[in-house]
Amino acid sequence: MTTRTRVGPADARSWLLVNGARPDLFDERYASRADQVVLDIEDAVDPARKDEARDGVVAWLGDADRPAWVRINDRSTPWWERDVAALAGLPGLAGVVLAKTEAAEHVTETFDRLGGATPVLALVESALGIEEAVDIARARGAFRLAFGSGDYRRDTGTSADDLAMAYPRSRLVVASRIGDLPGPIDGPTVSTSHPVLREQSAVTVSLGLTGKLCLDPDQAPVINEVISPAPSDVAWAQSFLADFEARGQVIRDGSDLPRLGRARKIERLARTFGVQPA
């Protein structure tokens, strides 16, 4: 199987969830345009098929040339221990997405059981998890936070309205900053409509999240485009930085430093994502 260059997980925009009980889909989904692929052996898999799905994922991850993440079962379930024991040390394991994370120790225990080197992406899916988000982000082994929006709505009775969902999303953004983590990953858009996906991805960006879970490979290009810097922003950043260098890197007023930081970030992301200026 041929490999391709992927955007690294710290900057990854699209995170494609793949049913762990469908090994026939693994190669196809891995070849998609998603920045990162997540083999899901948690909510996507019926309890009676957990062992079968885990075995299929373990077999596929024996190849180091096609690294993928695995969404494992949460710490409170009997499957968590079996998941981490089976996955530890696999050459193709890029990291784990820990379902229903509600405490810092959930992250740290998972990280330690996996050998102390595998990154743990904490999926926060409840009111308790949102309120514990700062401690979770600071936990040893925490790599990035993600929002399990569907389970959060079920837990709290919150609607899918953007205003109703602004608090938990913002909470994850603030917690990620405090924990010195990359920006958090938003929950998926269930609709197959690309205009709806584009609109919801724009909300993701506006609130400071820098990635988004997706359920279909066709969603990945849309998410990647919306979360990337716009070509006009890249042009502005390059112009600002060129002017800053031309004037000997002299700070003229209080707005220069914030603009400098923004310009440098846009330039870095443009290089990472291959975005050209307008």
71 appears as a binding residue in the annotation: yes
Q: Quote the CA–CA distance of 212 and 38 in Å, as a whole number.
A: 12
Residues of the chain above pLDDT 70, percent: 98
In 148-253, at which residue ranges do the beta strands (DSSP E only) sit? 185-186, 211-214
Q: Is the pLDDT of residue 2 over 90?
A: no
Average pLDDT for the chain: 95
Residue 68 burial (CB count, 10 A) = 22
What band does 55 get if pLDDT is binned at 50, 70 and 90?
Answer: very high
And the tokens for 162? 């953007």
Beta bridge partners of 39: 18, 70
Q: Evaluate the CA torsion angle 156, 160, 166, 172 in order and state its sign.
A: positive
154: left (phi over 0), alpha (psi -120 to 50) or beta: alpha
Q: Quote the CA–CA distance of 239 and 149 in Å, as a whole number.
A: 38
Domains in the chain: boundaries: 9-227, 231-273
Task: Check residue 229 and report its DSSP letter.
Answer: P
pLDDT for position 3? 45
- Decide: 142 and 133 in contact? Cβ < 8 Å: no
- Decide: 194 and 222 in contact? Cβ < 8 Å: yes
pTM comes to 0.94
Beta bridge partners of 130: none
Our measurement of the distance from residue 31's CA atom to the centroid of its chain's CA atoms, rounded to an integer in Å, reads: 18
Residue 159 burial (CB count, 10 A) = 10
Q: Is the pLDDT of residue 5 over 80?
A: no
100: left (phi over 0), alpha (psi -120 to 50) or beta: left
Q: Quote the CA–CA distance of 265 and 195 in Å, as a whole number.
A: 27
pLDDT digits (tens, 9 = 90+) for 206-253: 999 999 999 999 999 999 999 999 999 999 999 999 999 998 998 888
What band does 4 get if pLDDT is binned at 50, 70 and 90?
Answer: low
Beta bridge partners of 272: none
Our measurement of the distance from residue 145's CA atom to the centroid of its chain's CA atoms, rounded to an integer in Å, reads: 7
Task: Check residue 1 and report its DSSP letter.
Answer: -
pLDDT digits (tens, 9 = 90+) for 130-184: 999 999 999 999 999 999 999 999 999 999 999 999 999 999 999 999 999 999 9
Query: CA–CA distance from 54 to each of 37, 68, 156, 273 (Å)?
Result: 16, 14, 30, 32
Mean of the pLDDT values across residues 185-206? 96
6 appears as a binding residue in the annotation: no
- Decide: 210 and 184 in contact? Cβ < 8 Å: yes
Q: Quote the CA–CA distance of 136 and 128 in Å, as a whole number.
A: 11
pLDDT for position 197? 97
CATH of domain 9-227: 3.20.20.60
Q: Quote the CA–CA distance of 121 and 186 in Å, as a whole number.
A: 12
What band does 1 get if pLDDT is binned at 50, 70 and 90?
Answer: very low
Q: Quote the CA–CA distance of 156 and 151 in Å, as a whole number.
A: 9
